[in-house]
Amino acid sequence: MRSVMMCCLLLLLVSAAAGAEGKSEVALLLERVKPALQGEGEVGGNAQLATWTASTPLCQWRGLRWSTAATLPRELPCGNLSAGLAHHPVPDDLLLLLSIRLPASALAGHLPPELAAFSALASIFLAHNSLSGPIPLALGNAPALSLLDLASNRLSGSLPLSIWNLCSGNARLSLLRLHGNALHGPIPDPAALAPNTTCDALSLLDLSANRLSGPFPSSLVTTAFPALRSLDLSDNRLHASVDSTAQTGHTGEELKGPIFS
Ligand SMILES: *[C@@H]1O[C@H](CO)[C@@H](O)[C@H](O)[C@H]1NC(C)=O
Ligand SMILES: *[C@@H]1O[C@H](CO)[C@@H](O)[C@H](O)[C@H]1NC(C)=O
């Protein structure tokens, strides 16, 4: 069962990467990310995303920060991004996307798996939109993602186990906010990914106001998430497992509310 799951996961990751092969990050953003985030929503297109066009100076593309392999992790200043693509001083195949920050921007589409193909993308802030559909399995393969805020959207499906891939390697997940979506099913245990997987940098985990169910052993908090400073699992259908109640004195009732917040 588990090997079948890992196999499907690998296939999905490979196909997402193959789709991205050979494209610059600018091209990937325009061809895959923009249409996906926009969705069928608004007549005439989304006002923020409408700034992502070849003729608009890159500096004016809303909600984005860029760098290059040579300038990482620093953001390129506006002066280096002052032209449209045709006359751009930094060749577009050298530009690396650092962050996408478009909260409350009327995005009505879905999250494309190609988000995992941006090699330096460290933060995604897309809270308070109308994004629907699942959290793509491939997102766990994003090589640099450390801040992910997708709160208050319409995301459905389960929280993929692959999300805990972001805990190891260069990504070092430190903030995960998925508050106020329609996610269901259990919270996957990072140790199901590989034995002793821990999320050493994760300091804020907010999964509240979803439809998550099943046990949440509080031992998970201490072993898998040793750096947690804020945890909110309230307004779900979780219950504490019996053994963790015995160990820590937590009851299911307490676990419904914010813990350490
Ligand atoms: C950014 O602009 C400055 C000043 O014009 C220039 O010296 C620098 O080389 C540019 N950086 C890149 C990556 O093109
Ligand atoms: C996992 O941790 C336990 C206890 O610390 C240790 O005995 C075991 O060897 C570890 N397993 C792996 C695969 O690292």
Q: What is the pTM of this model?
A: 0.85
In a domain, 135, yes or no: yes
Helix (H) or strand (E) segment spanning residue 204: strand 204-206
Q: Does ligand 1 lie within 6 Å of residue 67's CB atom?
A: no
The tokens of 116 are what? 């995992």
Number of the ligand 1 atom closest to the C-alpha atom of 68: 13
* pLDDT tens-digit readout, 195-246: 888 899 999 999 999 999 998 766 677 788 889 999 999 999 998 654 443 3
% of the chain with per-residue pLDDT over 70: 80
* pLDDT tens-digit readout, 12-51: 444 444 445 678 999 999 999 999 999 986 667 899 999 9
Alpha-carbon gap, residue 93 to 71, rounded angstroms: 14
In a domain, 115, yes or no: yes
Alpha-carbon gap, residue 30 to 32, rounded angstroms: 6
In a domain, 219, yes or no: yes
How many structural domains is the chain composed of? 1
In a domain, 261, yes or no: no
Q: Choose the residue to mutate in 168, 189, 196, 223 for probing ligand 2, maximizing ligand atoms within 8 Å of C-beta.
A: 196
How far is the centre of ligand 1, averaged over its atoms, from the C-alpha of 88 (Å)? Answer: 12
- Could you tell me the residue range of the domain that residue 6 belongs to? 2-255
In a domain, 198, yes or no: yes
How far is the centre of ligand 2, averaged over its atoms, from the C-alpha of 196 (Å)? Answer: 6
How far is the centre of ligand 2, averaged over its atoms, from the C-alpha of 190 (Å)? Answer: 14
Please report where in the chains the tokens 């099913």 appear, as a residue: 185
Number of the ligand 2 atom closest to the C-alpha atom of 195: 13
In a domain, 56, yes or no: yes
In a domain, 260, yes or no: no
In a domain, 130, yes or no: yes
How far is the centre of ligand 1, averaged over its atoms, from the C-alpha of 80 (Å)? Answer: 6
Confidence of residue 185 (pLDDT cuts 50, 70, 90): very high
Confidence of residue 84 (pLDDT cuts 50, 70, 90): confident
The strand ranges marked E within 37-191 are 64-68, 95-101, 123-125, 132-133, 147-149, 154-158, 175-177, 182-185
251: CATH: 3.80.10.10
